[in-house]
Each structure stands twice: as structure tokens, then as C-alpha cells.
Amino acid sequence: MEEKRNYQFETEMIHTGYDSKQFQGSLNPPLFQTSTFTFENAKQGERRFAGEEEGYIYSRLGNPTVTMLEERMAALEKGEAALAFGSGMAAVSAILLALTKTGDHILCSQGVYGCTFGLLQLMKKKYNINHAFSTMETEEDLLQAIQPETACIYVETPINPTMKLVDLEMISRVAKSKGIPVVVDNTFCSPYLQNPIALGCDVVIHSATKYIGGHGDVIAGIAVGSKEFISEVAMTTQKDIGGIISPFDAWLLLRGLKTLAVRMDRHCDNAEKLATFLGNHTKVESVIYPGDEKNKDYEIMKKQMRKPGGLISFAIKGTKEDAQRFMDHLQLIKIAVSLGDAETLIQHPATMTHSVIPKEEREKMGISDTLIRLSVGLESWEDIRDDIEQALDKL
């Protein structure tokens, strides 16, 4: 039996989960575009439904192309198993529903994606599953925020869109002392920049729409964790609610993963240069970028992230209308609410991705009316800079 070698990340993202010898030497993984699978006989169908024989039954329950993606993502995130979903929010909702029941409590980082906030509100209203936000800056903060009913701790780091960081080793250490699982939304980093499971956390979630896909042509989500937990979610929450990924979308993500490392390097290099430029501009009030040595979270970034990432948030001097006017003057940069694409994208969180959050709550999270989020693309950084400069000059 051939011994499995331990490869570096850049090799794993191209090869893990696929053996071309099993598919007539096809260099690229095949697309199994089928809704169901046939059985050799009735007894085989019975055995598979009973769990006595491995094999595919129906694509809502598993598909070979999807399996390849899940195995690759589990390896990249240093987890035992993964599940692919039809969207990032399908992954978030499946995991939170799997970890909670009526009367439970979810402790969240001080700021979450707008739709995650909406889900938390829905769970509170319909199922009496409460939540609270904490800065999670110290062990004392965390211990004070944990309640007897706390069923899980949900963390974004960097937080969307304030770019605040949370010390994952500290969070996981405190959570383990209380027997509470930690769920981390790792979308902003991708597994190339940060691996929460290696830092002691339990479940990692991605909106694979973003850096995993990388080309703005797919909606998908991923969850990674222990084999036991992921199997439980697969056979309950995912199977019965049905937020599955299509085989074609899984195939697109496998394609996108092949260039993840080189794309992330370019995103990060461009962002570092643009953050410096923005920080020196007279019409920019402030810049929030994890790679800034003056950022209070800089040491956390150095400890748990490979690079500072490809996202920058900055506040325009003036009003909400000034921020929107600046965006309207951009020519190269596109106004859109996603991130992680080849194109540089910009959005206004207070009126777009986080508009569902009440203004008072937004301000507590650090989302002002003049805050703008920039997803730095793969273009020449000078061209991105020049576009920002000409738009700022028009204010």
C-alpha cells in the first residue's frame, strides 16, 4: 500500500481528495451532474439505506464531486471532515441549529455579518434561543459574558466589516474549560491565512462564495469540524432542511481552490500598499487594517494569521452622503457587496450588508455611516489607487 505523504498547503489545495487514476486519467475532477444513483439490485439499495454499505444514494445525501471538495477543504482547514452547502448562510444556520435547542444562548463576537445577525434574531423570536455580543478582548470579558445556558461561542475574526480581531487561542482555552464549542467564521481569511481548528476551535465556517471560489460565479458554504459532529449535521440538519450544494458549484469551487494561495498573496500585497496610501490621505478619517502596526490587534494578527488579508475598512471625512458620493465617482472599482473576487469591490456597510442591524447596535459594533469596506482585487494596485484618488479628489 502506497504511503500517504504530508504535503504543504499549496500542494494540498490542488491534489487532495482526487486520484486521476480512478477516473481514466482525467487531470481535472469529473462533474457528477446527477440527482440520483442506481443500485445493482434491491438488496444493495436496502444495505445503503441501512448504512451497512458505503455508496451514493441521492445527491442531497452525497455526490462524488461534492465529496472531493469536502475532503480537500477538511485537509486545508486541518479538520477531520467537511460539509458543503448551497450558501454561506446555509452553513451558518445548519451549524447553529445543530448546536442549540430552545432556551439556549449563543455568545457572539462584537459584530457579525448582517444576515447572521438576522438569523440570530429569527432564532430568538421563533425558538427562544437567545444571543449576546462580547468584545472578547480578555478572558475576564469572556467569562463574564458566558451564561449557564451558553451552548456555543460564535466568532468572526476579522469581524465584518470593522476588521477587529479576536484571539482564537484565548477563546478556545476558556471555552474548553467550560465545555462550550467554538464556531469561527473564517471567510475573510480563507484556510490559507488562518486555521482556527489548529488554534483549538471546534468548527470552521466559510462563505465559499468569496475567496474559496474567487471568481464571483458561485454561491456556496463550507463547514469543517470533527468527523463525529460533521456526520451528525450531515444526517440531520443538512439532510432534512436540505441546504445542499449542487455538483456543478462544487466543481467550480474545486477549480477555484487550485489558485487560492497565489490569489491570496496578491490580494494581501495589494491591500498592504493601499492601506498605506489611504492612511496618508487627507480626506480619509481612519483606516482599519490588521496589518497596520499601530492597530491594537496587530499582535493577534501576527500570532494567528499568515498575512493581514485582502480587506480594508476606512472612514471618509464628512457624512454618509460624502461616503456615497465618493463611491459614485469610482470608475474601475465596482460597487458590490461580495468580496474575494478578482475585481476590487467596495460597499457601504451601514446601508448595505449591515442595514438590517438597528443603527444603535451598528454603532456599538463600530459601523458608522462613513465607514466603507474595500475588498482589494487582483488588478494592478496602482490602478486601484489612482481610481480611489480621483474619486476622493472630487469630494
Q: What is the pLDDT of residues 334-356, one digit of tens each?
A: 999 999 999 999 999 999 999 99
Other C-beta atoms lying within 10 Å of the C-beta of residue 132: 13
Please identify which of the residues 56, 113, 154, 211 carries the catalytic annotation.
113
Q: Are residues 320 and 374 in the same domain?
A: yes
Report d(CA 392, CA 326) in Å as an integer.
6
Give CA angle at 384 (383, 388), nearest 5°: 115
Average pLDDT over residues 371-387: 98
pLDDT of residue 3: 56
261 burial level (CB within 10 Å; 0-12, 13-18, 19+): buried
Q: Are residues 235 and 335 in the same domain?
A: no
Report d(CA 8, CA 394) in Å as an integer.
47
pLDDT of residue 7: 86
> Which backbone phi and psi does 346 adopt, to 5 degrees?
-135, 145
For position 316, which CATH number holds? 3.90.1150.10
Residue 328 lies in a domain: yes
pLDDT digits (tens, 9 = 90+) for 175-232: 999 999 999 999 999 999 999 999 999 999 999 999 999 999 999 999 999 999 999 9
Q: Is 63 in contact with 31 (CB distance < 8 Å)?
A: no
Q: Catalytic residue at 192? A: no
Pairing of strands 221-225, 203-207: antiparallel
pLDDT of residue 251: 98
Out of 257, 283, 305, pick the residue that ends a domain: 257
Helices (H), the chain: 9-15, 42-49, 64-76, 88-99, 114-127, 139-145, 168-178, 190-193, 227-233, 239-241, 247-257, 260-279, 298-304, 320-328, 359-365, 381-393
Report d(CA 187, CA 373) in Å as an integer.
15
Please identify which of the residues 72, 104, 154, 185 carries the catalytic annotation.
185
Q: Are residues 218 and 149 in the same domain?
A: yes
Q: Catalytic residue at 101? A: no
Q: Are residues 342 and 288 in the same domain?
A: yes
Q: Are residues 219 and 302 in the same domain?
A: no
pLDDT of residue 348: 98
Report d(CA 58, CA 38) in Å as an integer.
9
pLDDT digits (tens, 9 = 90+) for 245-287: 999 999 999 999 999 999 999 999 999 999 999 999 999 999 9
Please identify which of the residues 47, 58, 60, 141 carries the catalytic annotation.
60
pLDDT of residue 4: 62
pLDDT of residue 104: 98
pLDDT digits (tens, 9 = 90+) for 150-175: 999 999 999 999 999 999 999 999 99
Please identify which of the residues 164, 210, 263, 307 carries the catalytic annotation.
210
Q: In the predicted model, is pLDDT for residue 44 greater than 50?
A: yes
Q: Are residues 222 and 341 in the same domain?
A: no
Average pLDDT over residues 286-300: 96
CB-facing half-sphere around the CA of 28: CA atoms within 13 A:
12
Residue 3 lies in a domain: no
Helices (H), 179-211: 190-193
Report d(CA 347, CA 327) in Å as an integer.
8
Q: Are residues 82 and 229 in the same domain?
A: yes
Average pLDDT over residues 44-58: 95
Residue 4 lies in a domain: no
Which H or E run contains 188?
A: none
- As a whole-number percent, the residues of the chain with pLDDT over 70 amount to 99
Tell me the β-bridge partners of 314. Answer: 287, 372
Average pLDDT over residues 129-149: 96
Q: Are residues 226 and 291 in the same domain?
A: no
Residue 87 lies in a domain: yes
Q: Are residues 194 and 313 in the same domain?
A: no
pLDDT digits (tens, 9 = 90+) for 108-137: 999 999 999 999 999 999 999 999 999 999
How many residues can be counted in the chain?
395
Residue 2 lies in a domain: no
Q: Are residues 309 and 161 in the same domain?
A: no
pLDDT of residue 1: 38
pLDDT of residue 6: 79
pLDDT of residue 250: 98
pLDDT of residue 131: 98
Residue 37 lies in a domain: yes
Residue 1 lies in a domain: no
Other C-beta atoms lying within 10 Å of the C-beta of residue 228: 9
The count of domains in the chain is: 2
- Residue entry with cell 439490485: 41
Report d(CA 153, CA 208) in Å as an integer.
21
Q: Catalytic residue at 325? A: no
Q: Which domain does 40 fall in, by range?
A: 9-257
Out of 257, 272, 296, pick the residue that ends a domain: 257
Residue 162 lies in a domain: yes
Q: Are residues 234 and 276 in the same domain?
A: no
Q: In the predicted model, is pLDDT for residue 2 greater than 60?
A: no
Q: Are residues 149 and 86 in the same domain?
A: yes
Average pLDDT over residues 57-82: 97
| Higher-pLDDT residue of 33, 17 | 33
For position 55, which CATH number holds? 3.40.640.10
Q: Catalytic residue at 47? A: no
pTM: 0.95
Out of 195, 222, 257, pick the residue that ends a domain: 257
* DSSP structure string for 123-182: HHHHH--EEEEE---SHHHHHHH--TTEEEEEEESSPTTT-----HHHHHHHHHHHT--E
